[in-house]
Structures are given as C-alpha cells and as structure tokens.
Amino acid sequence: MAILPLIRFPHACLQQVADPVDATSARTAQLARDLLETMHAAPGIGITACHVGIPLRLVVIDLPDGPGPRIYANPDIIWHNTETATAEEGSVSMPGIHAPVTRPARVRVRHTGLDGIMMEEEAGGLLAVCLQHEIDQINGIFWTRRLSPLRRDRAMKRYSRQARLNGAG
C-alpha cells in the first residue's frame, strides 16, 4: 500500500466527470487500498480516485464507529428522499475548510463491488452524506458548489487566505 499525493482545489481533475473503472482488475483493488491509506493519512472519512488525480469512478469510505472500509466502484445515486439534512462537509483536496451543506437525508446507491457483483445500498446519516459528497466528486461537482453563494465566497476566501499563509511559511 502507498500514500498517494493529494491534488488541491482547483485542480481540473476535481471538476471533471470520472470514467468508469474496471471493478475486478488487480489495479483497481490496489488503487482502493492506496486510497484507503491516503484517506487515513489525510485524515478523512471519504476519498475518490479523483482526489489523487486519477479520473476514475472509485470511492472509498471509512466512517468512525462504522463497520470498516467500504469500496464503491462506479457508484450512482438511483433514489433519494425529499427530506433533507444538513452536515458539515470538507475535502481532503481543500484541507481545513468546512461548511454546512444540505442534502437529501436518505439515498439508494447502485455500485459494483471489487468482486464484480452489482449491488444496491440504502443509507442515511453520515453514510448518506459521504456517498452523496463523493459521488458528486466523481461527477465533477466539487462540494463547494453545493453551498449558497455567500457561504461559497466565505469558504473560498478562507481557503485563499490559508494558502497565502502556508505559502509564506
């Protein structure tokens, strides 16, 4: 396993639709392991191949107090309810910046496991938030696009200020 270099917003890979991945290939399994290690090192609870500059539809999620790492190849949201929930979100590609995002409270996701079996999973709570966030990412939608214009402007100013301070130090 390896910790891969994370790309930073506004890298073009974070704003493009990712290509389907071959769920059963050994390269995909290795990339999933590397993404898991990279995500833990960041630290984060969700990551996509896009976050390391590889535009493939591969998502890894490992929630605190969860059942362990989950790997989603070629995931798509096939249903969401009308009830919404708001949660703080951020990105390993924009460290230190968080803001509240409102999304559907429950989703159903269709994806392929690394064994090649297609499955569906319904989720609520933090898992629903993570799935929507990461699936947005592989669809070229960076999380800040889900913010109101005012919140987005504030987040971008904080990120810019942080980048200037880090560059100066």
Specify if 58 maps to a domain: yes
Q: Which domain holds residue 48?
A: 12-168
Catalytic residues: 134
pLDDT computed for residue 166 by the predictor: 82
pLDDT computed for residue 165 by the predictor: 87
| CATH number, position 120 | 3.90.45.10
pLDDT computed for residue 169 by the predictor: 45
Return all residues near 54 (Cβ < 8 A) that are at least 6 apart.
13, 31
| Total of domains in the chain | 1
Specify if 6 maps to a domain: no
pLDDT computed for residue 91 by the predictor: 97
pLDDT computed for residue 155 by the predictor: 96
Specify if 3 maps to a domain: no
Specify if 69 maps to a domain: yes
Specify if 4 maps to a domain: no
Specify if 5 maps to a domain: no
Give 10-residue mean pLDDT values along the chain (169 residues): 95 97 98 98 98 98 95 98 97 96 98 98 98 98 97 96 77
pTM above 0.85, yes or no: yes
Residue type, 121: E
